[in-house]
Amino acid sequence: MSAESASQIPKGQVDLLDFIDWSGVECLNQSSSHSLPNALKQGYREDEGLNLESDADEQLLIYIPFNQVIKLHSFAIKGPEEEGPKTVKFFSNKEHMCFSNVNDFPPSDSAELTEENLKGKPVVLKYVKFQNVRSLTIFIEDNQSGSEVTKVQKIALYGSTVETTDMKGLKKIEDH
């Protein structure tokens, strides 16, 4: 199992699961019995029987803070053929977004998921837009069939950590 899932990770990137700050993770419009950990947590997200499901309508808004600054390279979102996510928008370092203001901000990047993506094929993001990510908001706007319920089986984020702080860069700002 792990060998197969490891092969999905793009070369040179790591699964950012270990860098998620779980205490701050939120998901708006999730079903109480089919919540975000089913798709995001290790072990749960590998279980095809467990899904994150939307509640009142098809949209989901997921907020993921990290415990250190990361660079986001790509993502994989698995889901069923019909109710799996279709339009997915990513926002870097946008706090406290909600359904009423999510369309007020241009996304850092967005993607239309294909059948291959829903089976786990990673989508590479505009890497330059995700160089200093402290938090990520994922807006799942709709699903493949236009039904009321969106189902997400797995969310995986791939990238790297930003280990060094550029003190010279910070110093310049203070001088002005």
Distance CA 86, CA 70 (A): 25
79 in Cβ contact with 39 (< 8 Å):
no
Has residue 95 got a pLDDT over 50?
A: yes
Structure-token pair, residue 63:
């907020």
Distance CA 162, CA 35 (A): 30
Domain residues of the chain, as ranges?
14-161
Distance CA 69, CA 71 (A): 7
Looking at the chain, which runs of residues are DSSP E strands?
14-15, 26-28, 52-53, 60-78, 87-92, 109-112, 123-124, 133-140, 151-152, 154-161
pLDDT value at position 4? 44
Reading phi first (left if > 0) and then psi (alpha if -120 to 50, else beta), residue 90 is in beta
Q: What is the DSSP letter of 167?
A: H
pLDDT per position as a tens digit, 19-62: 999 999 999 999 999 999 999 999 999 998 999 999 999 999 99
The torsion angles phi and psi of 174, rounded to 5 degrees, stand at -65, -30
Among 1-5, 46-50, 144-148, 164-168, name the most confident range.
Answer: 144-148
Q: What is the DSSP letter of 10?
A: P
Has residue 171 got a pLDDT over 80?
A: no
pTM of this structure:
0.88
Q: Which fold has domain 14-161?
A: Jelly Rolls (2.60.120)
pLDDT value at position 164? 52
Mean of pLDDT values over 76-99: 96
Has residue 71 got a pLDDT over 80?
A: yes
